[in-house]
Structure 1
Amino acid sequence: MATMKDIAKLAKVSTSTVSHVINKTRFVSDEISERVNSAVKELHYNGPSVLARSFKVNRTKTFGMLVTTSTNPFFGEVVKGVERSCYQNGYSLILCNTEGDHQRMRESINTLLHKRVDGLILMCSSLEGERIDVFEQYPDIPVVVMDWGPMLFTSDKIQDNSLRGGYMATQYLIESGHVDIGCITGPLIRHQAQMRYEGYKRAMNEAGLTFNADWIIESDFECEGGYDAFMEMKQHGVLPSAIFVSNDMMAMGVINAANECGMCIPDDLSIIGYDDIHIAKFISPALTTIHQPKYHLGQAAVETLLTRLDHQASDTQVIQIEPTLVTRKSVKIINSNNSN
């Protein structure tokens, strides 16, 4: 019967490298992995099964992730960070989409737990504020949630500083010379939507600017929602000179609606978004926005699970990722103290 030493000799690598390739415990280049896997096939190596190893160390080397299906590529960019970080750490990822269905969400959680995943990453806003009793049956499985408000179950948390991001976006518009500034929010029952709106209000208050209720519209974080919100704002009469739109998807909907109405951005209306999704720099005009480090969000979630598995930390953690401003072409500079 072939051994790891035999594989290492045939593939011309060390036995530790063979172990890393077979067990996926460390990143190994594609070329070396291919040589090792070819040697495994040639020698008909049948080492301990993954399942047997998992019982021995009480781990399956698998994480589960629950997300809400959305057209917003923000979620896909975060998942990419999670997947890559899992791969680099020798873990597999089981991804479940809820499609906004509450029952499917709970069934997906049950499915992942019954598959004996080593940890869970939850990026599903419909869970916010919910008590999930099933977690009490699996107290040893760590849970990380992303972008939620208060939770009724024990978990670590990864979040962006939405309050600071909303403040930064609005402050940039003010520094650019705008005084008539509207805001299209996400669903205000969502924590990050509320915090971005609070940031907008804080910047407006600090600058002593007046709020116009006709220029504050609540929407849904989707392109269609941004389009409809702009049309609703326009029906109220005079428009502001600038709008803070609480995510890039809605900002694209606003730009589309403004173009249909014969308006030129940024000459007639300035727009700043939030998220800095990949396509934001390719729309016309390129979107000024608040950057969220989406890959880092996903990476931080995996690292937090691994830390809890390895060290059994007693206190829950809240890891906050800081936003940054990305200036492009969708905001008009109307004073002499700033330049785009």
Structure 2
Amino acid sequence: MATIKDVAKHAGVSTSTVSHVLNQTRFVSEDISSRVRAAVEELNYAPSALARSLKVNHTRTFGMLVTTSTNPFFGEVVKGVERRCYEQGYNLILCNTEGDIDRMRSNLDMLLQKRVDGLLLMCSEVETSAFDLFARHQPVPTVVMDWGPIDFPSDKIQDNSHHGGYLATKHLIEKGHTQIGCLTGPLDKLPAQQRLSGFVQAMEESGLTINKDWIASGNFECEGGEKAFNAIYKNGKLPTALFVCNDMMAMGVINTAHKQGISVPDDLSIVGYDDIKLAKYITPSLTTIHQPKHRLGQQAVDTLLEKINKQSDSNKVIQLEPTLMERDSVKSLTP
């Protein structure tokens, strides 16, 4: 494999001249530049990204830790991250933690050994880990995205889950529903807590009774929706509507209800959360709370770049606002 010294020798110039031609860091005459470019092409020379990163002390690479999940929500956010990295001339190393704290530690060590310029965290298991694992590696710029720990000292980009839960429940109330249940995610996770609190606020504001028999939790996956629905189904009479705290669980509910002969929305109205791409293609198409997933990914990259470029010193929290996407899974009970 040709080196920069080989190119310099072939072109009859110094290595610094080759560097200036390739990086356009100083004026070099067209005659010499042409000789250098011809030598590069003839020798099939490729500059070493590693050598350059050691010289300039940055790699133009970000590392991202994300919980492996069947939930397309994560993939849609990662797509936004990848797109923004490409637009800004950065590479992305994506590591799946699979919910395993040991694997997360191993991935983190690998990313730091590769001298990434910044870290993106979207792995909820960090909440139960030792935060000093990250703190002792500072000052690597770090952005926590949505499902990460709320009290970790870093920039944070979050969905306003409380407001999203409130919007979902308020929509059902405005459609004439008074008997409303809530199927939450795991209540040790902040998004699940906040979506439930939004549900409670909307119910209390409207003077509606919260029936504990109509509240159950799942794991934010399809089977979690199935399990939570079966839990309230065994309690007897069902509500007329459910706020299900993410779309994957909502799809599990629709499937399980269908097996029990319960029609959505004729017998049971459902509002989901996330607005994953599949939500509008299931039957019935799902009324849900839209999270700006691509924007979440793009904003995370931009926030890291601000930190790297010293445009921001203090840690900040950026909150993205959810909106309601009305489709076919809610029946109106108003005259």
Q: Alpha-carbon deviations, 1:50-84, whole Å to 9, x = none?
A: 12221222100100000111110100000010111
CA distance in 2, matches of 1:19, 1:181: 63
Normalising by structure 2, we get a TM-score of 0.86
Equivalent residue, structure 2, for 1:250:
249
Residue identity opposite 1:214 in structure 2:
D
Change (3 A) 1:41 1:47: closer
The answer on 1:234 being equivalent to 2:217 is no
Change (3 A) 1:42 1:149: closer
Change (3 A) 1:153 1:169: closer
Query: Cα distance, 1:185 vs. partner?
Result: 0.2
Residue identity opposite 1:200 in structure 2:
F
Equivalent residue, structure 2, for 1:66:
65
Query: Cα distance, 1:315 vs. partner?
Result: 0.8
Q: Secondary structure at the match of 1:272?
A: strand
Query: Cα distance, 1:150 vs. partner?
Result: 5.1
Query: Cα distance, 1:131 vs. partner?
Result: 3.1
CA distance in 1, matches of 2:40, 2:51: 20
Change (3 A) 1:179 1:312: same
The answer to whether the Cα contact below 8 Å between 2:65 and 2:121 also exists between their aligned partners in 1 is yes
Query: Cα distance, 1:197 vs. partner?
Result: 0.3
Equivalent residue, structure 1, for 2:333:
334
Normalising by structure 1, we get a TM-score of 0.85
CA distance in 1, matches of 2:150, 2:241: 35
**Within 5 A, what are the aligned runs for 1:205-284?**
205-284=204-283
Amino-acid identity (%): 60
Residue identity opposite 2:260 in structure 1:
C
**Within 5 A, what are the aligned runs for 1:1-340?**
42-44=41-43, 46=45, 48-128=47-127, 130-148=129-147, 151=150, 153-311=152-310, 313-336=312-335
Q: Alpha-carbon deviations, 1:93-114, whole Å to 9, x = none?
A: 1011111112111111111111
Residue identity opposite 1:315 in structure 2:
S
Consecutive unaligned residues in structure 2, runs of 5 or more? 1-5, 12-21, 25-37
Q: Alpha-carbon deviations, 1:117-166, whole Å to 9, x = none?
A: 00000100011254332333332210111124654542110110000000
Residue identity opposite 2:101 in structure 1:
H
Query: Cα distance, 1:178 vs. partner?
Result: 0.2
Q: Alpha-carbon deviations, 1:235-272, whole Å to 9, x = none?
A: 10000000000000000000001100111110100000
CA distance in 1, matches of 2:23, 2:206: 61
CA distance in 2, matches of 1:103, 1:2: 45
Q: Alpha-carbon deviations, 1:7-56, whole Å to 9, x = none?
A: xxxxxxxxxxx869xxxxxxxxxxxxxxxxxx998444536421222122
| More divergent stretch after superposition (204-213 vs 134-143) | 134-143
Larger Rg: 2
| More divergent stretch after superposition (126-135 vs 221-230) | 126-135
CA distance in 1, matches of 2:313, 2:41: 47
Change (3 A) 1:40 1:260: farther
Root-mean-square deviation (CA, aligned residues, Å) is 2.3
The answer to whether the Cα contact below 8 Å between 2:224 and 2:249 also exists between their aligned partners in 1 is yes
Residue identity opposite 1:94 in structure 2:
I
How many corresponding residue pairs?
A: 307
Equivalent residue, structure 2, for 1:28:
none
CA distance in 2, matches of 1:316, 1:49: 34
The answer to whether the Cα contact below 8 Å between 1:66 and 1:121 also exists between their aligned partners in 2 is yes
Q: Secondary structure at the match of 1:295?
A: helix
Residue identity opposite 1:192 in structure 2:
P
CA distance in 2, matches of 1:237, 1:153: 42
Q: Secondary structure at the match of 1:273?
A: strand
Q: Alpha-carbon deviations, 1:155-188, whole Å to 9, x = none?
A: 1101100000000000000000000000000001
Q: Secondary structure at the match of 1:255?
A: helix
Consecutive unaligned residues in structure 1, runs of 5 or more? 7-17, 21-38
CA distance in 1, matches of 2:140, 2:291: 28
The answer to whether the Cα contact below 8 Å between 1:132 and 1:152 also exists between their aligned partners in 2 is no
The answer to whether the Cα contact below 8 Å between 1:149 and 1:190 also exists between their aligned partners in 2 is no
CA distance in 2, matches of 1:215, 1:40: 74
Q: Secondary structure at the match of 1:128?
A: helix
CA distance in 2, matches of 1:66, 1:315: 23
Query: Cα distance, 1:2 vs. partner?
Result: 6.9
